[in-house]
Amino acid sequence: MVNTKLKNRQHKLIEYANGPSLEEINGKIAVPKNIGFWRTLFAYSGPGALVAVGYMDPGNWSTSITGGQNFSYLLMSVILISSLIAMLLQYMAAKLGIVTQMDLAQAIRARTSKSLGIVLWLLTEFAIMATDIAEVIGAAIALYLLFRIPLVIAVFITVFDVLLLLLLTKIGFRKIEAIVVCLILVILLVFVYQVVLSAPNWGQVITGLVPTSATFSNSRTVAGMTPLSGALGIIGATVMPHNLYLHSAISQTRKIDHSDENDVARTVKFASLDSNIQLTAAFFVNALLLITGVAVFKTGAVKDPSFFGLYQALSNTSSLSNGVLISVAKSGVLSALFAVALLASGQNSTITGTLTGQVIMEGFIHMRMPLWLRRLVTRLLSVIPVLICVVMTSGKSALDEHVALNDLMNNSQVFLAFALPFSMLPLLMMTDSAAEMGQRFKNSWWIKGFGWLSVISLTGLNMYGLAPQVAGFFGDNPTKTQTSIANVIAAVLIVIIIALLTWTIIELHRGNQRYLAQRAAKAADKATK
């Protein structure tokens, strides 16, 4: 229950929190009834956009474009599969929040011990910081490219996006949703424009949506990348753990009569539609990024896969694939639009990352701090490795600096692979449970089947790809000794992951049994009275 005395001490920067998820906006947006399908869908639209942002953040850009450059349309099917899995997981996350009135962090904490809660909180915090590193790099590079602000200063400027966040918190959550949608449209339109000009082979695009044995091959290598490593990069950059926590919280922003199952069912239905529509937009953005790598640039033209290299390639007529693109590139429009889209992507992720941080902090350890302070702390921690990278490469060539930043962004994703199973598995276990969800809202047999297939597949792929990710910390061409060290580190991490997953499963099962026993005791007590 909420500790009212502690909750009302608004003068403290850090305070106890054990109330509704994102209490300031929880259940605050009313949705009129009997207003027709489209108006109802519009009223529920918004949370899905905040979730979709995580599926098109700067971390996705390099993997998709490089995958297109190296393997043409082969990895289109990986983007499609990742998007379908994302839709399934986000549906379950939204349903959990709406039905149980708890976000995923709260639900896990309610069924597990304090010590496990702290461990899972730290894991998720590292995952958020890893995502934040990509945002810092993307936003800083965009500022440099657009305004020629030196990188070190641009990195510090990204810290002050907290002021933007403070402004947004004053205008209302519905307007935040609208701003995020507008920024998504900016990103989408930029790449639609570039791809349309490039006139891709749409037949090959559609063919690429069908996976084949070559899609996950580990024998063919192009520019140091195999189709399997490219696929793992796309999957790792697409399905992120913090999105599940975020969606389970912001799905509760609409006012619901929880005593009316039909009202709950209506909310689940329209929240799912909103999520699927927005994630479809994210799929098109990621598909357009891959098509950009194939059709906008000549094959093998992008030697520098960093954001700097992509920007320069869009203004270099010798790297572009046709005369229309070349004529537009001479005006600088293509490269400028790319930088604008990159900046929009980084700012979108800033909003959602901060909200997610508050959700997991309150849910796992029952601690709350102001959004601006939360953002300032996490951003400063994320800025440190970026600044170290910039300073260490300042005396080297521009290409070395670009590659180092790109490697830092890619290597930071190892924490996402580590943390993902600890959000997916509890989510699936709880939404499968009739005790948690009720008979009407627990997962149907086909959702349960595809859910377990997705969780096992993603966890297995992330573990399989852990060794190459760890080896990436040694550089692009690790020695045999470094590769062996990476394999040992990866093996140790996998053992730790399995041990922690076992601990989590056992505690969730015991927590569920305690919950069932408490319900049975209450029912028996009520019957005797």
**Residue 149 in tokens:** 């602000």
Q: What structural domains does the chain harbor?
A: 23-214+221-519 (1.20.1740.10)
Which DSSP string corresponds to 129-177?
Answer: HHHHHHHHHHHHHHHHHHH---HHHHHHHHHTHHHHHHHHHHH-HHHHH
User: 3-state DSSP call for residue 299?
Assistant: coil
User: 3-state DSSP call for residue 393?
Assistant: coil
Three-class SS of 422-435? HHHHHHHHHHHCHH
Rg value, the chain, Cα? 23
Three-class SS of 40-65? HHHHHCCHHHHHHHHHCCHHHHHHHH
Instruction: Determine the Cα–Cα distance for residues 27 and 97; give it in Å rounded to an integer.
Output: 11
Instruction: Determine the Cα–Cα distance for residues 212 and 235; give it in Å rounded to an integer.
Output: 16
Smallest Cα–Cα separation from 244: which of 415, 104, 48? Answer: 104
| Other CB atoms within 10 A of residue 115 CB | 10
| pLDDT for 2 | 42
**CA quadruple 279, 283, 289, 295: dihedral positive or negative?**
negative
| pLDDT for 168 | 65
Instruction: Determine the Cα–Cα distance for residues 401 and 405; give it in Å rounded to an integer.
Output: 6
Question: Between helices 114-147 and 241-250, what is the axis angle to 10°?
Answer: 100
| pLDDT for 12 | 66
Beta bridge partners of residue 320, listed in sequence order: 297
| pLDDT for 384 | 85
Q: For 478-511, how does the pLDDT look when each residue is reduced to its tens digit (9 = 90+)?
A: 888 988 998 999 899 999 999 999 999 999 988 8
pLDDT in tens, the chain (529 residues): 444 444 444 456 677 777 788 888 888 888 888 888 999 999 999 889 888 887 877 767 777 888 888 888 999 999 999 999 999 999 999 999 999 999 999 999 989 998 999 999 998 888 888 888 888 888 888 898 889 888 888 888 887 776 666 666 677 778 778 888 888 888 888 888 888 888 888 999 999 999 988 888 877 877 767 888 788 778 877 778 888 999 999 999 999 998 899 999 999 999 999 999 999 998 998 899 899 888 887 666 666 777 888 888 888 777 777 677 778 877 788 888 888 888 887 777 777 777 888 889 888 988 887 777 777 777 778 888 888 888 887 777 777 777 788 778 777 766 777 788 899 999 999 999 888 898 899 999 999 999 999 989 888 887 887 887 788 777 767 888 988 998 999 899 999 999 999 999 999 988 888 888 887 787 777 777 6
Instruction: Determine the Cα–Cα distance for residues 412 and 240; give it in Å rounded to an integer.
Output: 13
| pLDDT for 205 | 92
Q: Measure the CA angle with vertex 271, ends 268 and 277; round to 5°.
A: 135
Tell me the helix, strand and coil percentages in the chain, rounded to 5. Answer: 75, 0, 20
